Structure 1
Amino acid sequence: MTADKAIQANGVSDPAAGKLDAKEAETSAWTVESVLAEITPRYAENTDSPVPFFHLLERLKTTKRAGWRRFGISDCESISDHMYRMSILTMMAPSSISSKLDILRCCRMALVHDMAESLVGDITPVDNVSKEEKGRRESETMDYICTNLLGKFNGGLNGKDVRQLWQEYEDSKTPESLFVHDIDKIELLLQMVEYERASGFERDLGEFTWVALKIQSDEVKVWAEQVFRERQDMWKQAGKTPSWRADTEPKAKS
């Protein structure tokens, strides 16, 4: 379980992460089967075809990122929207990064890192699900996808590859996985600014700015600073002052 698992709902920390109460004990009865029971028709399992898996991916296209919906953004990005831009961002890694990392692996990791949300959904702190319970649900979902849906396709090689990529991201130990975690955060910050701009600066999403402090690589930190200065300038031009968290507002250049 990674430290980032305490950062749920598009970067908002869960103050009760790791704790179980009566409601949590009840919701921990969640199983992959309980979700599949509501899907008609069910995905064909244990076949030598990847088509059932292809159909499951549609859920990533239609499931909205729940964190944004808390702020009244009903027509917000989907899970696959988020993963797609992340994969493109990895391809934009400067040579100082691409010379050291397997960027193709980073791109692929970005495309699968939230795949479990196809059945689990995008869990937020208000759902009162601990990071341990969230991890259990996601791990069991990936086992289902990579074994029941992909286990007999191409000798199970593709399923094993997807499962390994997802686990590598979760474990957050390799340089590639750490870079993709940084990309996850900068993609969130980009979307934050874009939703503020789309609202005519009526919507202040400054609550999410603290996520920038979790970025580790210097190169992505530079991108975050550029996004924040852009945000600062746009709000100033609108004649308004946005909120900032954890002293993240860019300082005046000397």
Structure 2
Amino acid sequence: MKTEEILGALDFLRAAEALKDVERSAHTSRGRVESTAEHTWRLCLMAMLFADGLEGIDLGKLLRICIVHDLGEALSGDIPAIVQTPGGGKAARERADLEELCRPLPEARRAEILALWEEYEAAATPEAVLAKGFDKLETLLQHTQGRNPAGFDYAFNLDYGRKQTAAHPLMAEIRAILDEATRARMAVPPPPKEAP
């Protein structure tokens, strides 16, 4: 690898570090707001753990898609699913941000990352379809174990990502388990508000 390629990769990694501070709508089990980087890490772990149930899938490609799927959020942040609107421009913004983020990389690497993101966005391959489904499942899992604020909308999760999580029998089975966990969380009364 040439020195300028190393320098470009380091510049890219420095910019991508911003994902560690991009907050999502999910909360950790200790009540801290989750970052996009944390979501992506567990999404990759989830894909790896369930890979044995995904015959004919290229796990390396699935993991690469998972790694880049939210990378554009490093620049403009995350838009929670509950406030997204059809045609709201989220994908176009993420694509433009990803192009900007990848600018220091050599053309071939830039093209590879953008192609993986586009594959994910279009659900163009079996790996991309699975990445989309696991993305939804990881979010649902976090919402069932997070210390969520009072008024958290668990009911939204019962419909969230239904199409993506129905794309494979294994994902549908995981979804059914997580839906039950969501219903269980809905049945628990919220904690009392703290006195001022």
TM-score, structure 2 as length reference: 0.78
1:4-83 equivalent positions in 2, closer than 5 A: 48=5, 49=7, 50-65=9-24, 67-68=25-26, 75-83=32-40
Give 2:160's aligned residue.
211
Query: Alpha carbon RMSD of aligned pairs, Å?
Result: 3.0
Give 1:106's aligned residue.
62
Shift of 1:74: 7.9
Unaligned runs of 5+ in 1: 1-46, 242-254
After superposition, the Cα gap between the structure-2 partners of 1:172 and 1:203, relative to the gap in structure 1 and judged at 3 Å, is closer
Give 1:162's aligned residue.
113
Distance 1:171 1:202 in 2: 33
Q: Deviations over 1:65-91 (max 9, x none)?
A: 1x348xxx9831101111111111111
After superposition, the Cα gap between the structure-2 partners of 1:161 and 1:235, relative to the gap in structure 1 and judged at 3 Å, is same
TM-score, structure 1 as length reference: 0.62
**Match for residue 86 of structure 1 among 25, 43, 48:** 43
Shift of 1:144: 1.9
Distance 1:87 1:232 in 2: 26
SS at match of 1:77: strand
Contact 1:87–1:110 (CA<8 Å) still a contact in 2? yes
Shift of 1:225: 1.3
Shift of 1:163: 1.5
Unaligned runs of 5+ in 2: 191-196
Distance 1:150 1:123 in 2: 26
After superposition, the Cα gap between the structure-2 partners of 1:175 and 1:143, relative to the gap in structure 1 and judged at 3 Å, is same
Q: Deviations over 1:148-200 (max 9, x none)?
A: 2113xxxx3322221211111011121110011110111011011012xx359
Higher helix proportion:
2
SS at match of 2:34: coil
Moved over 6 A (4+): 125-129
What fraction of aligned residue pairs are identical, expressed as a percent? 23
SS at match of 2:158: helix
In our comparison, the structure showing a higher alpha carbon Rg is 1
Shift of 1:52: 1.0
Contact 1:201–1:235 (CA<8 Å) still a contact in 2? no
Distance 1:56 1:91 in 2: 26
